[in-house]
Amino acid sequence: MLTQIHYWTATIYSACLLCMAIWIPLVRRLPPERCMGRFSRVLVIYHPFILVLLGVILMTGAMLITGLKIRIGVEFFEVMFHSLGQKLLIFFLIALYSSHMFFGVGLKLTRANAPLELREFEMPMEDQLRTLRRLHTGTIVNLVLTIYAYALGVTMV
């Protein structure tokens, strides 16, 4: 059951990244004000959802490692430093990079596009569009890393 939760959550996470990687270039075709308004409204929902998915992947993966260690026994460290170690390193990079995208880049964009009474600062439109490009690049990097980690996980089973 835990394995299915882990893989389904990873699948949903990958699908969300893929959808965002496809959607960002489409929304960039809109006029800049509409583009940034629409994108920031989606980002307010998307980033917390993705963060929850990452947390579920992390926690179920940690629980699965305990069971794996018991099943493998003495050979655990050989397996650990081969594919499992790679997967953990890749996921660590995904979590760090995603956190940077959520809190370092995306949060600035959503605050700059908040309603006027809640807006904390102004951000020039060209900076917002540059930030959108950074988020698109970050989404593609995370997608590639996620596919690699997913492939490592599938080969481990």
Q: What residue spans define the domains of the chain?
A: 2-156
List the structure tokens of 75. 């050979």
pLDDT per position as a tens digit, 67-80? 777 887 777 777 67
Q: Which run of H or of E encompasses 145?
A: helix 125-156
Q: What is the pTM of this model?
A: 0.86
Per-residue pLDDT reduced to its tens digit, 22-31: 999 999 999 9
**98, two tokens:** 């995603």
From CA 97, how far away is CA 142, in angstroms rounded?
8
Backbone angles phi, psi at 31, to 5 degrees: -60, 145
Query: Percentage of residues in the chain with pLDDT exceeding 70?
Result: 97
What's the mean pLDDT when you consider all of the chain?
87
Predicted pLDDT of residue 157: 59
The winner for highest mean pLDDT among 9-13, 58-62, 110-114, 152-156 is 9-13
Q: What are phi and psi of 123, to 5 degrees?
A: -130, 125
CA pair distance 44, 57, nearest whole angstrom:
21
Residue 1 pLDDT > 90, yes or no? no
Of 152 and 27, more confident: 27
Chain centroid to CA 155: 22
Nearest residue to 36 (alpha-carbon basis) of 119, 100, 92? 119
Q: What Cα–Cα distance (Å) separates residue 23 from each residue in 11, 13, 18, 89?
A: 18, 15, 9, 28
Q: What is the pLDDT of residue 10?
A: 92
Q: Which residue reads 């593609």 in tokens? A: 140
Is residue 48 within 8 A of residue 101, CB to CB? The reply is no
